[in-house]
Amino acid sequence: MADQNPIFQIQRIYLKEASLEQPNSPAILLEQDQPSVDIQLGVEANPAADGVYEVCVTATVQTKVKDKTVFLVEAKQAGIFEVRNLPQEQMGPIMGIACPQIVYPYLRGNVADLIQRAGFPPVHLAEINFQAMYEQQQAQAAGEASPILTQ
């Protein structure tokens, strides 16, 4: 029965995608106004093979002065995880909490590095409570599904 032991292994962590745009340079760099920063995060998990999953954490960082973009960074950090012999009810939390917690520090470093290499002070993404984020998404999904069930 050793074949039925739960397996959770990191196969690989990698930067899947990264882009940087400075559409209004160099003029915007001469602006004296304080820029605003908007940060959006997302998580997605997809099967890659039998018992193997790719989990991606995506960050979009847009900095503007007034209505003009100073820079826009989009990055997608991914991990390949082997997950076997776990009850189905544990798969959601593994894919939505455990795996993103492993991948996210790499994303934070890559985003800060990319922004700094572009000539700006680094933007450090805040720590994320992926459990709270996952629970909120589950509650929203349940809330969106419930009106359909009541009709």
DSSP character string of the chain: -GGGS-EEEEEEEEEEEEEEE-TTTTGGGG--SPPEEEEEEEEEEEEEETTEEEEEEEEEEEEEETTEEEEEEEEEEEEEEEEES--HHHHHHIIIIIHHHHHHHHHHHHHHHHHHHTTSPPPPPPP--HHHHHHHHHHHHHHHHHHHHH-
Q: Please state the domain count of the chain.
A: 1
What pTM does this model have? 0.86
> How confident is the prediction along the chain (151 residues), in pLDDT tens digits per residue?
456 899 999 999 999 999 999 999 999 889 889 999 999 999 999 999 999 999 999 999 999 999 999 999 999 999 999 999 999 999 999 999 999 999 999 999 999 999 999 999 888 899 999 999 999 988 888 887 544 443 3
Domain CATH number, residue 85: 3.10.420.10
Residues of the domain holding 25: 15-145
